[in-house]
Amino acid sequence: MLIISTRAPFWCAALCTVSVSLSTLTAAQDGTARNTARSTGASSATTSEPPTTPKSHDDVYIIGVDDILAINVWKEPEVSKTVPVRSDGKISLPLAGEVQASGQTPRQLELDLSRRLASYISQPEVTVIVQEIKSQKFNILGQVAKPGSYPIANNPTVLDAIALAGGFRDFAKQKSIYVLRRNPDGSETRLPFNYKDMVKGKNVDQNIKLQPNDTIVVP
């Protein structure tokens, strides 16, 4: 008698199981890829948007003669310039013309330039940055190699000033140096500086940071 079995061989069942597993894995991978693409697309859309953080504006520093200003007008490269403040206190800018800069803060100058440019540019966005401070100076007089006025840059100290002035002459009284500082009421304060003590590490607090219009006297 010929008997035909209805049971599939064990290798056929195993093969079917593997096939189902592969199909499930492929579907899962396709779903993950689609989710990743959507996530990446959303991330790209987010990063492509312009930043919403407002720019900071300097409303403290007073612009002076000889300062170098970097003026940027948003999306207007022809108008954006780096300009010096002339001896008459003015700057020249395309479309805006002659503009008084000395005596204003960068924020005030931004508003002034925006008003002037509004006749030519729709809603101009102006940023003014003091690129180089040259209007604020200190003086050093007396027995130094190069007495004169020097711009205040990088927070110079009395020692820095002496170095900028080329050091002492032969007969400088290095223990009797002093700084004359102008007070808001117009009076002056005399601040002693003993170079001999300073180089020995004594009274290091006397090596003060200079302020605009300070005068160092080396007798």
- Residue-range domain boundaries for the chain: 68-132, 137-218
The model's pTM is 0.59
* pLDDT tens, residue by residue, 69-89: 999 999 999 999 999 999 999
pLDDT of residue 181: 96
Cβ of 86: how many Cβ atoms within 10 Å? Answer: 14
- What is the spatial distance between Cα 203 and Cα 149, in angstroms, rounded to a whole number? 26
Domain 137-218 CATH class label:
alpha beta
Task: Answer whether residue 129 shows pLDDT above 90.
Answer: yes
| Under 8 Å between Cβ of 211 and 139 | no
Higher-confidence residue of 117 and 28: namely 117
- Rounded to the nearest 5°, which phi and psi values hold at 201? 85, 15
pLDDT of residue 179: 98
Task: Answer whether residue 4 shows pLDDT above 80.
Answer: no
CA angle 43, 45, 50 (to 5 degrees): 110
- Three-class SS state of 172: coil
- What is the spatial distance between Cα 54 and Cα 144, in angstroms, rounded to a whole number? 48
CATH number of 68-132: 3.30.1950.10
Q: One fold for both 68-132 and 137-218?
A: no
Mean pLDDT score across all residues of the chain: 82
pLDDT of residue 186: 86
Task: Answer whether residue 163 shows pLDDT above 60.
Answer: yes
